[in-house]
Structures are given as C-alpha cells and as structure tokens.
Structure 1
Amino acid sequence: MAKRKQPEGPAPDATLRTKKQIKKPKKSAPGDATAAAAAAVVVKQPVRGAFSTALAGPKPKETEPVAAGPGGNANGSGNTFKNKEKVLVLSTRGVTFRYRHLMEDVLSLLPHSKKESKLDTKSDRGVINEVADLKNCTTVLFFEVRKRQDLYLWLSKAPEGPSVKFHVANVHTMAEVKLSGNHLKGSRPVLSFDASFDAQPHMQLLKELLTQTFATPKRHHKAKPFFDHVISFTVADERIWVRNYQLVVPPDKKKADPENASLVEVGPRFCLNPIKVFSGSFGGPTLYDNPSYTSPNAVRAAIKRKAAGKYGSKVAAKDRREQHRANNPAPRDPLEGLFKGQDEDDEEGGE
C-alpha cells in the first residue's frame, strides 16, 4: 500500500490550527489546586552542556562584599577566599648558565609559576607589568644580570606594588651541590621564617612578599595536596639565607611526628641581600634603603685599589732606600787598595 505523499513546504504554524484541534481546558476540581501548585514548583531538567542554576543549590544570603586580597579574589559564596596566586619568572639577556640553572631550580619549586622569554631591555622595567597582566600573574620574579657576573632579583607585586630589589650571592644550584635530599615535584612547601622577620616593619613586608611568592595555592591543578619539604628563610649578617629541605618520615611510622621526622637538604642555596624597597612595581617612592649595602662595583674597586697600593708601597720603599744610600754613604775600606797595588807590582816585574 502506497504511503500518502506529504506536501512540500514549511510546517504549519501552531496558530493556524483548526477549531477542532484546539481543545478546551477541562475544569479542575477544587482539590486539584494544590497539585497544580506543586507541579509548578518542579524544576525542569537542565540541558546537557549548559549551565544549570538548579545544581548550584539555594541562592546564598546577601552579605557585604569582600575585598579581593593581593593574591586572589573573593567569590560569591559568602566570605570564602580563593587563592589565585601566579608567579611570572623571567630574566634579562646575557644571563650566565649558572644563574639560568638557579632560575630553573626556583621554577621547579613553584608549580604555580609561569616562565617568560628573556627581556630585551634593562631600562624600561614597566614592560614587565604588561607581560604579567597578559599572563594573569600577580607576582613577578625578575632575574637581572649586570656585567655577566652580578645577579639582582626583583620581587614585585604587579601592577601596583610594592617591590623589593635583592642582590643575590652565594649561589649553589642543585647540580653543583648534589645533595641526598629529594622531594616530590609540585608538592606544597612549609615556609619557615626566622624570628627576626617580625622585628622591623620592612622585614615584615619582606616576609609577606616571600610568603605570597613561595606558598603554593591550595587545590592548584599542578600542585600535590600534601607537604613534604620545608623552605627556610633565615636572617644572618643582615642578609636572608634561603635553604630547601626534604621532610623525611621513617617508613615504619604512619603519621608524621616532629620527634621522629628529620630534614635533609635538597637545594638550591642562595643568599638575598635587600637593597631597596619601593612602594610601586619596579619603581616609585622608596620605602626602605639598606644603609649597610655595598655594591659589587665598589667591592671590586676596593680590591683594585688594594692591589695598586701594594705595588705603590714597593715603589715607595725602593725610592726611600736609594735616598737613604745617597744621604748615608758607606765609609771607605782601608784594605780596599791592598791587593790592587800588589797586582800592579807583579805586572811591572814580569815585563
């Protein structure tokens, strides 16, 4: 039996239905009012692939807005704070292999960091704030190398500041020291600060900057959800000494006990000498200036002056010796011509 051929063309609109197709609504009994109200409350099933507010739970109560912190923002769920700290790590051109290895070691300690290519300019540091904005980073670690031998580390909160400039010395990378410690890459560290960080205001600021930089955010997609190493910041000789230790727990212990746990150094090692603290990012008014800081150029100049003074002292001693000989001539020896006259007589007799 042949099927009826459907007429071509657009489907008829719902408004063009005949009167026979339109059914009159049935009269509902008074008892069905509650059922209709309950049916109106039923939420429709969410469409797959679309955002559903039904799965998000009840609407939260209206609260006062929470100010966003320096390392993240406050979401709409009450006073919950979510740390979205990201660190931008980059260096200048002309960096030596040793300082580049140090930067790679620091990158391995920061799973929430982003590496950027080398910066071409050394004068206009404001470009770094733009790069940090493009990378959605709130903190910048900038390794600046001068004369291919002096390393300076800028630690800045982009784009408004504050920022601090360090001189890095006593650098020992992981490849150099070859220590026995080893912790899992991407695990969260325990930050240990010396009591001297709470003594002065500028040290408190440095502590907060270091905390926001080296503390791995909780539930970061690249971080491991446990602690197995300690990063130590110790103040000695007005410098900050940085060390990284592995937290070792005996295999027969199921829980970490401070009495049974031990620390094994992993590396790297380096020393930070603070130079200046600025209120802005890579500049601005100076908040702190280290009076005891001596630049490497001044140290090298003092060494050259000392070497030049040593040679000058030798020349001056030689001049004084010659002047002394001229002022105090040696007396003539009475036996000076004794054998000289005898030799002359022997020559005359031989003739």
Structure 2
Amino acid sequence: MATIYKLVKTQKDEDADDLKEKESPKNKQRVLALSSRGRHLLNDLDALLPHFKKDSKLDQKSKLGIINELADLNNCNNCVFFEVRKGQDLYMWTSKTPNGPSIKFHVQNIHTMDELKMTGNCLKGSRPILSFDKTFDSEPHWILIKEVFVHIFGIPRSARRIKPFVDHVVSFTIADNRIWFRNFQIIEKDPMEQNKKPSDKDLSLVEIGPRFVLNIIKIFEGSFCGATIFANPEFVSPNEIRRNFRMAKAVRHQARMVAKEERRRKIADSDLPDDDFANMHPRTN
C-alpha cells in the first residue's frame, strides 16, 4: 500500500509542476489508443476524447513493452490498449508511459453507441466533466486508479482538436467492486429564456453511451511490466468461469447417465410374475 501512495504522490507532484508552466506550447496529456482486434469501443472513446491518438492494430500477446516505444514515437505520455483474447474476452490496459504505473482491467457488459440508439448527443471535441464515486477516495488502489483516469480521460485545455464547450459528463461509479463507465449529455432547459437566474433544476442528464464495466485485475509498478503492487483477490478469469460451467454440465450429464443405467439394471434384475393373459387372443365372431 505504501508503494501505491508513493505512486499517487509522484503523479500529483508532476501535475503541480505542469501547472507552474504558463501557456506551454506542448500538450501535457496525450493518449495513445490502440487495440489488438475489434475497434468499436475504441472508436467511440476516440470520438468522445479529442486528445486520443489512434494507432494501427497491435497483435502482440506477450511482449507489450513495445507499446512504450510506440507511445514515445507518437509523443504520448498515456496509453490505452484493448487486448482481445480468444475472440471473446476483452482486457483494457491503462498506463502512464514510459515509467508506469499500469493497470489491467477485464471489460464486461459492453454497449457501444450504435447498439444503444439513445437520443442524447454531444458536440464532437467538447471537454467532459469527470465524475468519480466517493469510494475512489477510500482505498489506496482506488486513489491510484482515479489519478490515472484523470490523466487519460481528462482533456487538457492545450489539446488541438477540442472545442470550447463542456456539454457532457463522464461518470465512474464503483459497485460490486467494479467500475461502471457511463457518459451523459448535459441538457439545459429553456436556454434562450432571458432574465432568468440559472438553477440546477434547469439542467438534466441524458445518457449517450458507450457504457461498459471494468473489473480490476492487477496494478503493476512499471508500464506493462514490473512488480505487482495490487492484485484483486475477487477476480475470477473468464477461462476458469467457462471451465467451471463445463465441469458442472459434465457432472449433470454423468448423473443422468448413471440414473439411466441404474434404471436398466433394476428392470433387468426384477422378477415379474408371469402374465396369465399373454397367450390369449381376442375373441372374433
């Protein structure tokens, strides 16, 4: 836990140093976004976050350290990598390149904008308001995750593609030891009405999408490498879940086969009395 607090303090010190520099021409937070397969969710995030820089697909399963070199070539100090395993399991890596830390999540319950078909909409390139559940301040690993998410999903004012508007809210909520991602449009009622004081009652939220759930797996000290500083004891891999399901199905099948065999054996061993009417023929006129 002391290591996590140290990493959080280091990131906050770097942010303080960035604030001291006035009107720096450099973009302090740029995010390299890439995936191994399927880019639907990645395309949605790229549309919402203008400081994302998409790269080509990376089909790399073991040596993920090459992503640090790609981030350096693209002048990015953050990275989001979507890793697809077996064509059905999606994992998301978030990292502060090149020194770390890095976090690995299992992505569940994915719904893209095209799937949801919601009525909400927001201006492309606008900056979001980041909303975090108060649980993020309760444990060291949640504090670290919040700090990394602020760097990745918080759009800096120096981003080149941003629009000078704030019209949507990105929400991170912790429930069932998982992070629930939601995106809402800010709708103002009667914006053209004059001589009216602004009030919170005049604002409402409409969900836009995408939506997904992040189940934390591990936090590494380095970027895509290094010592494990946190491991989720409640995480169960999808492979193990499928294995347990197959084993339970096999046990049920085996129980049915044993019951059928037992029934055949009982019928074969049973001594039924002779049927006196077996040799009788129906009477015909």
TM-score scaled by structure 2? 0.87
Bigger mean CA deviation after superposition, 302-311 or 233-242? 302-311
1:142 aligns with 2:66: no
1:288 aligns with 2:261: no
Aligned residue type for 1:85: Q
| Shift of residue 213, structure 1, vs aligned partner | 0.6
Give the Cα–Cα distance (whole angstroms) in 2 for the partners of residues 159 and 219 of structure 1: 21
> For residues 173-222 of structure 1, what are the alpha-carbon distances to aligned partners after superposition, in whole Å with 9 as ceiling and x for unaligned?
10111100001111111111111111111011111111111011024321
> For residues 248-301 of structure 1, what are the alpha-carbon distances to aligned partners after superposition, in whole Å with 9 as ceiling and x for unaligned?
001345675322100001100111110000111001111111111111111111
Matching residue of 2:3: none
Q: What RMSD in Å do the two structures reach over aligned CA positions?
A: 2.5
Contact 1:71 1:84 (C-alpha < 8 Å) held by counterparts: no
Matching residue of 1:22: none
- How do 1:37-52 and structure 2 match up within 5 A? none
Structure 2 portions without partners, runs of 5+:
1-11
Name which of 134, 140, 143 aligns with 1:195. 134
Cα distance change, pair 291–106 in 1 and its aligned pair in 2 (3 A): same
Structure 1 portions without partners, runs of 5+:
1-66, 347-351
Q: Report the number of matched residues.
A: 269
Matching residue of 2:203: 261
Give the Cα–Cα distance (whole angstroms) in 2 for the partners of residues 298 and 71 of structure 1: 44
Matching residue of 1:84: 28
- How do 1:3-18 and structure 2 match up within 5 A? none
| Shift of residue 319, structure 1, vs aligned partner | 1.1
Contact 2:34 2:57 (C-alpha < 8 Å) held by counterparts: yes
1:303 aligns with 2:245: yes
Matching residue of 1:54: none
1:229 aligns with 2:168: yes
SS across alignment from 2:14: coil
Aligned residue type for 1:185: K
Cα distance change, pair 192–325 in 1 and its aligned pair in 2 (3 A): same
| Shift of residue 68, structure 1, vs aligned partner | 6.7
1:69 aligns with 2:14: yes
Give the Cα–Cα distance (whole angstroms) in 1 for the partners of residues 168 and 129 of structure 2: 6
Contact 1:166 1:273 (C-alpha < 8 Å) held by counterparts: yes
TM-score scaled by structure 1? 0.71
Pick 1 or 2: higher relative contact order, CA cutoff 8 A, min separation 6: 2
Contact 1:246 1:266 (C-alpha < 8 Å) held by counterparts: yes
| Shift of residue 110, structure 1, vs aligned partner | 1.2
Give the Cα–Cα distance (whole angstroms) in 2 for the partners of residues 187 and 256 of structure 1: 21
SS across alignment from 2:242: helix
Cα distance change, pair 70–139 in 1 and its aligned pair in 2 (3 A): farther
Cα distance change, pair 257–314 in 1 and its aligned pair in 2 (3 A): same
Cα distance change, pair 144–249 in 1 and its aligned pair in 2 (3 A): same
> For residues 44-97 of structure 1, what are the alpha-carbon distances to aligned partners after superposition, in whole Å with 9 as ceiling and x for unaligned?
xxxxxxxxxxxxxxxxxxxxxxx971697466669x9x86100000111xx13x
Name which of 68, 75, 90 aligns with 1:151. 90
1:119 aligns with 2:58: yes
Give the Cα–Cα distance (whole angstroms) in 2 for the partners of residues 134 and 70 of structure 1: 22
Aligned residue type for 2:43: E
Cα distance change, pair 240–290 in 1 and its aligned pair in 2 (3 A): same
Bigger mean CA deviation after superposition, 158-167 or 312-321? 312-321
Matching residue of 1:185: 124
Give the Cα–Cα distance (whole angstroms) in 2 for the partners of residues 124 and 247 of structure 1: 42
Matching residue of 2:7: none
Contact 2:100 2:220 (C-alpha < 8 Å) held by counterparts: yes
Matching residue of 1:23: none
Aligned residue type for 2:109: N
